[in-house]
């Protein structure tokens, strides 16, 4: 599954022992890691844990390893209604895309954006704006009240993407 691969790619360097040693010192020499990426991974891990406990207060203790958090969160919320699980998946997808962006690779984001139509005008002109970290609609007739292109957050487009893929899967079964 691509999401997992992305997580593995971007999360592996952040693996650290349970000690409180400054994380940068845990990184293997010769594998320089952007501290911005590490900060993001830490924030993402906190978000996963917080969202999981909000959804399922009785979820067991969260694992210490960042990579294990995702399967822990999936298992803890697997009994929730489809909508709630989609919200979880959208958050994980957004995090995965953000990891790529922080690592300097906009590829996965632009790939997803290409597969989604504009929520407002339904055109296929959505674009990722590297400068503003938002998704913009390229249709000139699609703009906000002050004439700027309609824009969406990565989270909004990730939710749309997850919902569309889930609908396709329901049709296929
Ligand atoms: Zn539009």
Q: How far apart are CA 49 and CA 105, in angstroms?
A: 26
Q: 144 CA distance to ligand 1 centroid (A)?
A: 10
Q: 168 CA distance to ligand 1 centroid (A)?
A: 22
pLDDT in tens, 105-125: 999 999 999 999 999 999 999
The answer to whether position 158 is within a domain reads yes
The answer to whether position 14 is within a domain reads no
The answer to whether position 119 is within a domain reads yes
pLDDT in tens, 65-87: 888 999 999 999 999 999 999 99
- Determine the 3-state secondary structure of 129 from DSSP: strand
* Mean pLDDT confidence for 83-98: 94
Q: 155 CA distance to ligand 1 centroid (A)?
A: 17
The answer to whether position 23 is within a domain reads no
- Select from 80, 32, 35, 89 the least CA-distant residue to 56: 80
The answer to whether position 9 is within a domain reads no
Domain count, the chain: 1
Q: 149 CA distance to ligand 1 centroid (A)?
A: 8
Q: 143 CA distance to ligand 1 centroid (A)?
A: 7
For residue 125, give its domain range: 32-172
pLDDT in tens, 44-59: 999 999 999 999 999 9
65 or 9: which leads in pLDDT: 65
* Mean pLDDT confidence for 20-39: 57
Q: 163 CA distance to ligand 1 centroid (A)?
A: 19
């Amino acid at each position: 599954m691509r999401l997992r691969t992305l997580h593995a790619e971007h999360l592996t360097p952040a693996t650290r022992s349970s000690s409180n040693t400054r994380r940068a010192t845990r990184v293997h020499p010769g594998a320089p890691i952007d501290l911005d990426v590490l900060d993001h991974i830490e924030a993402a891990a906190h978000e996963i844990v917080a969202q999981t406990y909000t959804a399922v207060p009785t979820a067991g203790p969260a694992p210490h390893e960042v990579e294990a958090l995702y399967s822990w969160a999936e298992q803890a919320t697997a009994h929730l209604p489809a909508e709630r699980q989609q919200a979880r998946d959208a958050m994980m997808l957004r995090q995965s895309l953000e990891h790529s962006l922080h690592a300097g690779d906009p590829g996965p984001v632009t790939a997803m954006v290409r597969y989604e139509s504009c929520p407002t005008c339904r055109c296929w002109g959505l674009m990722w704006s590297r400068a503003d970290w938002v998704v913009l609609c390229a249709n000139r007739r699609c703009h906000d009240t002050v004439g700027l292109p309609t824009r969406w957050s990565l989270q909004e487009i990730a939710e749309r993407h997850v919902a569309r893929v889930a609908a396709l899967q329901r049709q296929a079964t």
